[in-house]
Protein backbone atom coordinates (compact mmCIF):
# COMPACT_ATOMS: atom_id res chain seq x y z
CA UNK A 1 0.00 0.00 0.00
CA UNK A 2 2.94 2.35 0.57
CA UNK A 3 4.07 1.97 -3.04
CA UNK A 4 0.50 2.37 -4.26
CA UNK A 5 0.03 5.60 -2.30
CA UNK A 6 3.37 6.98 -3.48
CA UNK A 7 2.56 6.19 -7.10
CA UNK A 8 -0.91 7.70 -6.78
CA UNK A 9 0.48 10.82 -5.12
CA UNK A 10 3.14 11.24 -7.83
CA UNK A 11 0.58 10.90 -10.65
CA UNK A 12 -1.74 13.38 -8.94
CA UNK A 13 1.14 15.87 -8.55
CA UNK A 14 2.05 15.48 -12.22
CA UNK A 15 -1.58 15.95 -13.27
CA UNK A 16 -1.85 19.09 -11.15
CA UNK A 17 1.29 20.51 -12.76
CA UNK A 18 -0.18 19.88 -16.23
CA UNK A 19 -3.48 21.48 -15.27
CA UNK A 20 -1.83 24.53 -13.70
CA UNK A 21 0.50 24.86 -16.68
CA UNK A 22 -2.40 24.74 -19.14
CA UNK A 23 -4.37 27.32 -17.17
CA UNK A 24 -1.29 29.55 -16.91
CA UNK A 25 -0.67 29.57 -20.67
CA UNK A 26 -4.37 30.23 -21.34
CA UNK A 27 -4.10 33.29 -19.07
CA UNK A 28 -1.02 34.35 -21.04
CA UNK A 29 -3.10 34.39 -24.22
CA UNK A 30 -2.67 30.88 -25.66
CA UNK A 31 -5.62 28.89 -27.02
CA UNK A 32 -6.61 25.84 -24.95
CA UNK A 33 -5.03 23.35 -27.37
CA UNK A 34 -1.86 25.44 -27.70
CA UNK A 35 -1.70 25.83 -23.91
CA UNK A 36 -1.95 22.04 -23.41
CA UNK A 37 0.64 21.41 -26.12
CA UNK A 38 3.06 23.98 -24.68
CA UNK A 39 2.65 22.57 -21.16
CA UNK A 40 3.35 18.99 -22.22
CA UNK A 41 6.38 19.93 -24.34
CA UNK A 42 7.74 22.08 -21.52
CA UNK A 43 7.29 19.49 -18.77
CA UNK A 44 8.64 16.67 -20.95
CA UNK A 45 11.66 18.84 -21.99
CA UNK A 46 11.49 17.60 -25.60
CA UNK A 47 12.96 20.91 -26.81
CA UNK A 48 10.28 21.90 -29.35
CA UNK A 49 9.94 25.62 -30.19
CA UNK A 50 7.42 27.84 -28.42
CA UNK A 51 3.94 27.92 -29.93
CA UNK A 52 3.69 31.69 -29.31
CA UNK A 53 6.43 34.22 -28.57
CA UNK A 54 6.95 34.54 -24.81
CA UNK A 55 6.57 37.77 -22.94
CA UNK A 56 8.78 38.28 -19.84
CA UNK A 57 5.86 37.00 -17.75
CA UNK A 58 5.61 33.94 -20.02
CA UNK A 59 9.31 33.25 -19.70
CA UNK A 60 9.15 33.49 -15.90
CA UNK A 61 6.10 31.21 -15.81
CA UNK A 62 7.81 28.69 -18.09
CA UNK A 63 10.91 28.54 -15.90
CA UNK A 64 8.79 27.86 -12.81
CA UNK A 65 6.78 25.27 -14.74
CA UNK A 66 9.97 23.50 -15.86
CA UNK A 67 11.26 23.26 -12.29
CA UNK A 68 8.04 21.87 -10.84
CA UNK A 69 6.98 19.89 -13.89
CA UNK A 70 10.26 18.12 -14.49
CA UNK A 71 10.54 17.33 -10.79
CA UNK A 72 7.01 15.85 -10.68
CA UNK A 73 7.60 13.88 -13.90
CA UNK A 74 10.92 12.44 -12.70
CA UNK A 75 9.42 11.52 -9.33
CA UNK A 76 6.43 9.79 -10.93
CA UNK A 77 8.69 7.93 -13.34
CA UNK A 78 11.05 6.78 -10.57
CA UNK A 79 8.18 5.55 -8.38
CA UNK A 80 6.67 3.73 -11.37
CA UNK A 81 9.96 2.01 -12.17
CA UNK A 82 10.49 1.11 -8.52
CA UNK A 83 7.00 -0.37 -8.31
CA UNK A 84 7.49 -2.51 -11.39
CA UNK A 85 10.99 -3.62 -10.41
CA UNK A 86 9.90 -4.78 -6.96
CA UNK A 87 6.81 -6.48 -8.29
CA UNK A 88 4.51 -4.33 -6.24
CA UNK A 89 1.83 -4.07 -8.89
CA UNK A 90 1.56 -7.85 -9.12
CA UNK A 91 1.39 -8.06 -5.36
CA UNK A 92 -1.27 -5.38 -5.20
CA UNK A 93 -3.37 -7.01 -7.89
CA UNK A 94 -2.96 -10.37 -6.12
CA UNK A 95 -3.99 -8.83 -2.82
CA UNK A 96 -6.99 -7.25 -4.49
CA UNK A 97 -8.05 -10.62 -5.86
CA UNK A 98 -7.61 -12.12 -2.38
CA UNK A 99 -9.72 -9.33 -0.85
CA UNK A 100 -12.48 -10.03 -3.37
CA UNK A 101 -12.25 -13.76 -2.63
CA UNK A 102 -12.51 -13.17 1.12
CA UNK A 103 -15.46 -10.81 0.61
CA UNK A 104 -17.34 -13.61 -1.17
CA UNK A 105 -16.66 -16.22 1.53
CA UNK A 106 -19.42 -17.43 3.85
CA UNK A 107 -19.31 -19.57 7.02
CA UNK A 108 -15.51 -19.63 7.01
CA UNK A 109 -13.10 -19.75 9.96
CA UNK A 110 -10.82 -16.87 10.93
CA UNK A 111 -7.55 -17.80 12.65
CA UNK A 112 -5.97 -14.83 14.44
CA UNK A 113 -2.28 -15.60 14.95
CA UNK A 114 -0.37 -17.87 12.57
CA UNK A 115 2.13 -19.34 15.00
CA UNK A 116 2.59 -23.04 15.73
CA UNK A 117 -0.90 -23.35 17.20
CA UNK A 118 -2.54 -21.37 14.40
CA UNK A 119 -0.78 -23.35 11.70
CA UNK A 120 -1.79 -26.67 13.29
CA UNK A 121 -5.41 -25.55 13.41
CA UNK A 122 -5.18 -24.38 9.81
CA UNK A 123 -3.78 -27.72 8.65
CA UNK A 124 -6.69 -29.57 10.27
CA UNK A 125 -9.25 -27.25 8.69
CA UNK A 126 -7.67 -27.46 5.23
CA UNK A 127 -7.72 -31.28 5.38
CA UNK A 128 -11.46 -31.20 6.04
CA UNK A 129 -12.03 -28.75 3.18
CA UNK A 130 -13.09 -25.89 5.47
CA UNK A 131 -12.48 -22.35 4.21
CA UNK A 132 -10.25 -20.23 6.42
CA UNK A 133 -8.62 -16.82 6.62
CA UNK A 134 -5.37 -16.30 8.54
CA UNK A 135 -4.79 -12.95 10.26
CA UNK A 136 -1.17 -12.20 11.14
CA UNK A 137 0.76 -9.00 11.83
CA UNK A 138 3.99 -10.28 10.23
CA UNK A 139 3.40 -11.26 6.61
CA UNK A 140 6.60 -13.34 6.40
CA UNK A 141 5.25 -15.73 9.07
CA UNK A 142 2.21 -16.69 7.03
CA UNK A 143 2.94 -19.82 4.98
CA UNK A 144 0.45 -22.39 3.83
CA UNK A 145 -2.67 -20.29 4.42
CA UNK A 146 -4.96 -20.02 1.37
CA UNK A 147 -6.26 -16.59 2.39
CA UNK A 148 -4.30 -14.05 4.41
CA UNK A 149 -5.01 -10.66 5.96
CA UNK A 150 -1.92 -8.86 7.21
CA UNK A 151 -2.63 -6.70 10.24
CA UNK A 152 -3.37 -6.56 13.94
CA UNK A 153 -6.35 -8.78 14.77
CA UNK A 154 -7.30 -6.52 17.69
CA UNK A 155 -8.35 -3.83 15.18
CA UNK A 156 -11.92 -3.90 13.92
CA UNK A 157 -10.89 -2.94 10.39
CA UNK A 158 -8.60 -5.97 10.13
CA UNK A 159 -11.35 -8.32 11.35
CA UNK A 160 -13.76 -6.81 8.84
CA UNK A 161 -11.19 -7.35 6.09
CA UNK A 162 -11.17 -11.04 7.12
CA UNK A 163 -14.94 -11.18 6.55
CA UNK A 164 -15.97 -11.49 10.18
CA UNK A 165 -19.57 -10.48 9.44
CA UNK A 166 -20.02 -13.67 7.39
CA UNK A 167 -17.69 -16.02 9.32
CA UNK A 168 -18.93 -19.04 11.26
CA UNK A 169 -16.08 -19.23 13.76
CA UNK A 170 -12.98 -17.42 14.95
CA UNK A 171 -9.90 -18.79 16.68
CA UNK A 172 -7.97 -16.32 18.85
CA UNK A 173 -4.47 -17.86 18.86
CA UNK A 174 -2.32 -14.80 19.53
CA UNK A 175 0.77 -14.97 21.72
CA UNK A 176 -0.74 -13.36 24.83
CA UNK A 177 -3.95 -13.85 26.78
CA UNK A 178 -4.55 -10.10 26.77
CA UNK A 179 -4.47 -9.97 22.96
CA UNK A 180 -6.81 -12.98 22.72
CA UNK A 181 -9.24 -11.37 25.15
CA UNK A 182 -9.26 -8.17 23.11
CA UNK A 183 -9.74 -10.14 19.87
CA UNK A 184 -12.65 -12.06 21.38
CA UNK A 185 -14.22 -8.84 22.67
CA UNK A 186 -13.95 -7.12 19.28
CA UNK A 187 -15.12 -10.18 17.35
CA UNK A 188 -18.17 -10.65 19.57
CA UNK A 189 -19.16 -7.01 19.06
CA UNK A 190 -18.83 -7.30 15.28
CA UNK A 191 -20.64 -10.64 14.99
CA UNK A 192 -22.81 -11.64 17.98
CA UNK A 193 -23.54 -15.08 16.46
CA UNK A 194 -19.88 -15.97 15.92
CA UNK A 195 -18.45 -19.11 17.59
CA UNK A 196 -15.18 -18.07 19.24
CA UNK A 197 -12.41 -20.35 20.49
CA UNK A 198 -9.65 -18.62 22.44
CA UNK A 199 -6.20 -19.87 23.34
CA UNK A 200 -4.88 -19.27 26.84
CA UNK A 201 -1.47 -19.73 28.40
CA UNK A 202 -2.72 -19.31 31.95
CA UNK A 203 -5.73 -21.13 33.40
CA UNK A 204 -6.43 -18.04 35.53
CA UNK A 205 -7.25 -16.14 32.34
CA UNK A 206 -9.94 -18.59 31.22
CA UNK A 207 -12.76 -16.80 33.04
CA UNK A 208 -11.72 -13.43 31.60
CA UNK A 209 -11.66 -14.87 28.09
CA UNK A 210 -15.15 -16.31 28.58
CA UNK A 211 -16.38 -12.92 29.76
CA UNK A 212 -14.72 -11.32 26.74
CA UNK A 213 -16.96 -13.36 24.46
CA UNK A 214 -15.18 -16.68 23.90
CA UNK A 215 -17.44 -19.74 23.68
CA UNK A 216 -14.55 -22.11 24.40
CA UNK A 217 -11.16 -21.52 26.01
CA UNK A 218 -8.31 -23.95 25.31
CA UNK A 219 -4.95 -24.30 27.03
CA UNK A 220 -2.72 -26.20 24.55
CA UNK A 221 -0.21 -27.12 27.26
CA UNK A 222 -2.91 -28.57 29.51
CA UNK A 223 -4.53 -30.51 26.66
CA UNK A 224 -1.15 -31.77 25.51
CA UNK A 225 -0.38 -33.02 29.02
CA UNK A 226 -3.76 -34.73 29.35
CA UNK A 227 -3.30 -36.38 25.98
CA UNK A 228 0.14 -37.71 26.93
CA UNK A 229 -1.29 -38.99 30.21
CA UNK A 230 -4.07 -40.74 28.29
CA UNK A 231 -1.49 -42.55 26.17
CA UNK A 232 0.18 -43.73 29.37
CA UNK A 233 -3.05 -44.82 31.10
CA UNK A 234 -5.26 -45.93 28.17
CA UNK A 235 -3.04 -46.05 25.08
CA UNK A 236 -5.45 -48.03 22.88
CA UNK A 237 -8.42 -45.80 23.66
CA UNK A 238 -6.36 -42.68 23.07
CA UNK A 239 -5.00 -44.00 19.81
CA UNK A 240 -8.46 -45.02 18.62
CA UNK A 241 -9.83 -41.53 19.29
CA UNK A 242 -6.85 -39.98 17.54
CA UNK A 243 -7.36 -42.13 14.47
CA UNK A 244 -11.10 -41.43 14.36
CA UNK A 245 -10.75 -37.69 14.90
CA UNK A 246 -7.60 -36.86 12.98
CA UNK A 247 -5.97 -39.53 10.85
CA UNK A 248 -8.94 -40.90 8.96
CA UNK A 249 -7.40 -44.33 8.39
CA UNK A 250 -10.49 -46.00 9.89
CA UNK A 251 -13.87 -45.89 8.22
CA UNK A 252 -15.52 -44.63 11.41
CA UNK A 253 -15.97 -40.93 12.13
CA UNK A 254 -17.38 -38.82 14.92
CA UNK A 255 -19.86 -36.11 13.99
CA UNK A 256 -22.10 -33.53 15.65
CA UNK A 257 -25.49 -32.77 14.11
CA UNK A 258 -27.59 -29.85 15.42
CA UNK A 259 -31.37 -30.24 15.62
CA UNK A 260 -33.33 -27.23 14.40
CA UNK A 261 -36.98 -26.35 14.94
CA UNK A 262 -37.80 -27.41 11.37
CA UNK A 263 -36.17 -30.82 11.77
CA UNK A 264 -38.41 -33.83 11.23
CA UNK A 265 -37.14 -35.49 14.41
CA UNK A 266 -37.65 -32.50 16.73
CA UNK A 267 -40.11 -33.38 19.49
CA UNK A 268 -39.78 -37.14 18.97
CA UNK A 269 -38.05 -39.72 21.09
CA UNK A 270 -34.88 -41.42 19.94
CA UNK A 271 -36.86 -44.65 19.62
CA UNK A 272 -39.38 -43.01 17.28
CA UNK A 273 -36.71 -41.39 15.11
CA UNK A 274 -35.30 -44.81 14.11
CA UNK A 275 -31.88 -43.19 13.63
CA UNK A 276 -30.03 -46.48 14.00
CA UNK A 277 -32.32 -48.33 11.59
CA UNK A 278 -32.52 -45.59 8.96
CA UNK A 279 -28.91 -44.40 8.93
CA UNK A 280 -26.75 -46.98 10.72
CA UNK A 281 -25.14 -44.26 12.83
CA UNK A 282 -24.86 -44.80 16.59
CA UNK A 283 -25.90 -41.94 18.89
CA UNK A 284 -23.31 -41.58 21.63
CA UNK A 285 -24.66 -38.49 23.38
CA UNK A 286 -27.09 -35.58 23.28
CA UNK A 287 -26.13 -32.06 24.23
CA UNK A 288 -29.00 -29.81 25.25
CA UNK A 289 -29.34 -26.07 24.74
CA UNK A 290 -27.75 -25.43 28.15
CA UNK A 291 -24.58 -27.32 27.25
CA UNK A 292 -25.32 -30.41 29.36
CA UNK A 293 -24.34 -33.75 27.83
CA UNK A 294 -26.45 -36.88 28.20
CA UNK A 295 -24.26 -39.83 27.27
CA UNK A 296 -25.69 -43.14 26.05
CA UNK A 297 -29.18 -41.61 26.09
CA UNK A 298 -32.21 -43.77 26.81
CA UNK A 299 -34.32 -44.64 23.71
CA UNK A 300 -37.25 -42.77 25.25
CA UNK A 301 -35.22 -39.54 25.49
CA UNK A 302 -36.98 -36.78 23.57
CA UNK A 303 -34.97 -34.97 20.90
CA UNK A 304 -35.73 -31.25 20.99
CA UNK A 305 -34.83 -28.26 18.88
CA UNK A 306 -31.51 -26.92 20.11
CA UNK A 307 -30.11 -30.35 20.90
CA UNK A 308 -26.87 -31.50 19.28
CA UNK A 309 -26.54 -35.18 18.41
CA UNK A 310 -23.08 -36.70 18.89
CA UNK A 311 -22.84 -39.82 16.72
CA UNK A 312 -20.30 -42.30 15.38
CA UNK A 313 -20.40 -44.17 12.10
CA UNK A 314 -19.03 -44.37 8.60
CA UNK A 315 -19.07 -41.28 6.44
CA UNK A 316 -22.09 -42.57 4.50
CA UNK A 317 -23.96 -43.29 7.72
CA UNK A 318 -23.20 -39.86 9.12
CA UNK A 319 -24.23 -38.20 5.85
CA UNK A 320 -27.52 -40.09 6.07
CA UNK A 321 -27.95 -38.87 9.65
CA UNK A 322 -27.40 -35.26 8.59
CA UNK A 323 -29.99 -35.69 5.84
CA UNK A 324 -32.48 -37.28 8.22
CA UNK A 325 -32.12 -34.56 10.86
CA UNK A 326 -32.30 -31.76 8.30
CA UNK A 327 -35.28 -33.16 6.40
Specify whether 212 is located in the same domain as 132. yes
Q: Map residue 128 onto helix, strand or coil.
A: coil
Strand-strand pairing, 195-199 and 169-172: parallel
**Domain for residue 158, yes or no?**
yes
CA dihedral 144, 146, 151, 155 (to 10 degrees): -130
- pLDDT above 70 (res 185): yes
**Domain for residue 69, yes or no?**
yes
93: pLDDT confidence band, cut at 50, 70 and 90?
low
Neighbours of 206 (CB within 10 A): 18
pLDDT by residue (tens digit) across 102-111? 889 999 999 9
- Which residue, among 67, 53, 55, has the nearest Cα to 21 in the 3D structure? 67
Specify whether 134 is located in the same domain as 186. yes
Task: Count up the domains in the chain and report the number.
Answer: 3
- pLDDT above 60 (res 144): yes
- Domain with 31 in it: 2-86
Q: Residue 267: which CATH number?
A: 3.30.70.1450
Pick 76 or 323 by higher pLDDT. 323
**Domain for residue 225, yes or no?**
no
Specify whether 62 is located in the same domain as 121. no
Specify whether 128 is located in the same domain as 206. yes
- Which residue, among 59, 49, 58, 56, has the nearest Cα to 30 in the 3D structure? 58
**Domain for residue 227, yes or no?**
no
Q: DSSP for 193-259? A: T-EEEEE-S-GGGHHHHHHHT-SEEE-HHHHHHHHHHHHHH-HHHHHHHHIIIII--SSEEEEEEEP
pLDDT the model gives residue 109: 96
Strand-strand pairing, 195-199 and 216-218: parallel
Backbone angles phi, psi at 239, to 5 degrees: -70, -35
Backbone angles phi, psi at 114, to 5 degrees: -105, 50
Specify whether 207 is located in the same domain as 288. no
pLDDT the model gives residue 6: 77
Pick 48 or 224 by higher pLDDT. 224
Specify whether 115 is located in the same domain as 194. yes
Specify whether 9 is located in the same domain as 111. no
Mean pLDDT of 47-66: 79
**Domain for residue 304, yes or no?**
yes
pLDDT the model gives residue 61: 84
- pTM of the predicted protein model: 0.62
Mean pLDDT of 130-139: 90
- DSSP class of residue 114 equals -
**Domain for residue 236, yes or no?**
no
Average pLDDT of the chain, as a whole number: 86
pLDDT by residue (tens digit) across 296-309? 899 899 999 999 99
Determine the Cα–Cα distance for residues 311 and 324; give it in Å rounded to an integer.
13
Strand-strand pairing, 169-172 and 109-112: parallel
Query: Which residues have a Cβ under 8 Å from the Cβ of 240 and sit 6 or more positions away?
Result: none
Specify whether 112 is located in the same domain as 82. no
Window from 9-13, 28-32, 36-40, 82-86 with minimum mean pLDDT: 82-86
Q: Residue 161: which CATH number?
A: 3.40.50.720
pLDDT by residue (tens digit) across 239-249? 877 777 766 56
83: pLDDT confidence band, cut at 50, 70 and 90?
low
Domain end: 218, 239, 262, which one?
Answer: 218
Task: Name beta bridge partners: 197.
Answer: 171, 216
Specify whether 129 is located in the same domain as 161. yes
Query: Which residues have a Cβ under 8 Å from the Cβ of 183 and sit 6 or more positions away?
Result: 112, 153, 154, 159, 170, 172, 174, 198
Domain end: 86, 120, 146, which one?
Answer: 86
Q: Map residue 294 onto helix, strand or coil.
A: strand
Q: Residue 16: which CATH number?
A: 1.10.287.70
Domain end: 162, 193, 218, which one?
Answer: 218
**Domain for residue 232, yes or no?**
no
Specify whether 279 is located in the same domain as 207. no
Pick 220 or 185 by higher pLDDT. 185
Determine the Cα–Cα distance for residues 96 and 109; give it in Å rounded to an integer.
20
Specify whether 72 is located in the same domain as 114. no
- Which residue, among 56, 59, 52, 50, has the nearest Cα to 29 in the 3D structure? 52
**Domain for residue 162, yes or no?**
yes
Mean pLDDT of 225-247: 80
Amino acid sequence: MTHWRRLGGALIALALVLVVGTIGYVVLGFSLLDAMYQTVTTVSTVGFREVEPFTPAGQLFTMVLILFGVGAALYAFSVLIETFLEGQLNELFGRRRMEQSIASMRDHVIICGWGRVGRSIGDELVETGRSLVAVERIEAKVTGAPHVVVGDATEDGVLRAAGIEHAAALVAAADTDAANAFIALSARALNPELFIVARTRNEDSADKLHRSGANRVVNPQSIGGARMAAFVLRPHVAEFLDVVMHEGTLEFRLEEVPVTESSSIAGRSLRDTHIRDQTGALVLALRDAHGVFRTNPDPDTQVCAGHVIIAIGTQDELDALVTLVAS
